[in-house]
Amino acid sequence: MTDLSRILPDFPIGRYANLLPTIEKHGLTTADLLALEAPDIGKRTQLALLDVKRLCNAILEALHVDLGISDKPQPKTDEAKKGKGTGIGTSVLKQTGTELLATPQHAISTLDDELDRALGGGIPTGYITEITGESGAGKTQFLLTLLLACQLPPPRGLGRPALYVSTEAPLSTRRLSQLLAHNPYLRNLPPASKPSLDGIVGTVTPDLESQDHILHFQVPVEVARRHVGLLVLDSVAANYRVEFERGASVASGANLAARSHELLRLGTLLHDLARTHDLAIVVANQVADRFAAPAKTIAGGVASSHHSLPRVSQESPLASRSRGMPLIPPGLEPPSSSNGIDATTELQLLRSSMPPPPPTEDPPAPAALLLDHQQRWFTGWGDDPHPHHHNLKTPSLGLVWTTQIAARIALFKRPVYGRQREVVEDEEGQTTTTMKNWRRWMKVVFAPHVRGTGPGLEGAVEFEVTMGGLRSLERKGKGKEKGKEEEMATATTKVA
């Protein structure tokens, strides 16, 4: 349990010296001791159940004191008793909710006012922010802009250098030079305050082993030495998908468990870096197509399975329960009634007095509890009131990685087609559709410092990728209203 001394430096480990070596031998972390049941830990480590409970309770109390939500003083270490340490006494909350919201956030600008407004000022420090989207949506352009903006003085930037860790392709210095030359904000800056390529440190991690070594040993040293303000990981999914999704091992439960464990280690490391050095951590993530699970149907008495398009259900999970068996079974005439009671009511009374039939199979889980129903609120795809079933995506690495990030920004793209034209090849006329351009949107799925964009693309910000970087576009109708206001203001000035 090598992370206990890092999470709780003042924890009295001397009292549990007979337990910690065995726990560390079995690879249990502090999070495991807090999340797992004591009998499960005892089975794995063969330790006494009472000793395990005492250790887990002591760690939990120490964490409460460290967070300032407990009035109990934390036990002093042996060094503190000898006068070498101060120990931790009764503490109060470090920051209340109101103070936390009132604390000014340092953020990195996207160099576009409309995009910054949607992001609550930019990319904040102290958090892990994910930018996800399919290939060509603008993720890399977004990241390169942040690498330059981080070097700007506040409020646009942090006045600090940036660190770029790539898992796929090396840093594009040519594109960075292009942004410096053509961005309308950067090109007008004086040379003294203008960002440069010297303020960006880049490295490539072609496999998971090198990535783990660089992030655990080299990155913390560079961040502390250079006072780095931004760490970019592009992309987070590449090495994990290569390492854990090869061959027949995809369906292996042990393989998925190992990948989840590695993702938790990565999330813990990035969280510590963000909090300790007050830097912004931005990771790019890939997406995958979302397919519905096979549904079983009964056809001619034989169960068959088929794949269907994902169906987005908005109804309550109790709605399906109210649609049970019909009041009158098919093929059965309603019984006659001579006592004045309606036949349907009599049948309901008869059925209510009979014991329910034994269940033939386990009842299905309500739709509201299924991942296919829930993921629309944290993936960015599927919450549109008019969904496009053929274009649903889901960010890679699943729910485990989603719990490690604080904010998710989704980038969307859709093609814009031009007029059809006739292409003559080999004396045969052929009509083709020519694509003119792409339309792109940015959407805040969830974030701790700003409200989410909302369902669909109604509140998303449309942008385009230019020589100078990202540039937001006015919504249709908004420009006309703005033009009318300017015309009215001009007319009023002339009359006056």
Q: What is the rounded average pLDDT of the residues 227-244?
A: 89
Residue ranges of the domains in the chain?
Answer: 4-81, 106-290+376-481
Packing angle, helices 49-67 and 38-45, rounded to 10: 120
Contact 16, 50 (CB under 8 A): no
CATH topology classification for 106-290+376-481: Rossmann fold (3.40.50)
DSSP string, 182-218: H-TTTTTS-GGG---GGGEEEEE--SHHHHHHIIIII
pLDDT in tens, 429-462: 555 555 568 899 999 999 998 999 988 888 899 9
User: Taking 60 as the threshold, does the pLDDT of residue 486 lie above it?
Assistant: no
Residue 76 gets the label, from left (phi > 0), alpha (psi -120 to 50) or beta, of: beta
Give the pLDDT score at 245: 66
Given this model, what pLDDT does residue 359 score?
Answer: 61
In this prediction, what percent of the chain has a pLDDT beyond 70?
Answer: 66
Q: Among the ranges 81-95, 99-113, 437-451, 478-492, which has the highest mean pLDDT value?
A: 437-451
Q: What value does the mean pLDDT take over residues 46-67?
A: 88
Give counts: helices (H), strands (E), the chain.
20, 15
* Burial (CB count <10 Å: 0-12, 13-18, 19+), residue 246: exposed
* DSSP output for 129-169: EEEEE-TTSSHHHHHHHHHHHTTSPTTT--SS-EEEEESSS
* DSSP character at residue 242: H
Q: What is the pLDDT of residue 489?
A: 43
What local confidence, expressed as pLDDT, does residue 478 receive? Answer: 54
Q: What pLDDT score was predicted for residue 179?
A: 95
Q: Look at residue 230 in the predicted model and tell me its pLDDT.
A: 97
Q: What is the pLDDT of residues 274-326, one digit of tens each?
A: 999 999 999 999 998 887 555 444 444 444 444 444 444 444 444 444 444 44
Give the residues across from 441 on adjacent strands.
Answer: 412, 462
* pTM for the full predicted model: 0.67
pLDDT of residue 257: 81
Q: What pLDDT was estimated at residue 339?
A: 53
**What mean pLDDT, rounded, does the chain reach?**
77
Q: pLDDT higher for 405 or 344?
A: 405
**Across 398-418, average pLDDT:** 90
Confidence of residue 473 (pLDDT cuts 50, 70, 90): very high
Position 83 pLDDT exceeds 60: no
Tell me the pLDDT tens digit for each residue of 158-213: 999 999 999 988 999 999 999 999 999 999 999 888 999 999 999 999 899 999 99
What is the structure's pLDDT at 362? 62
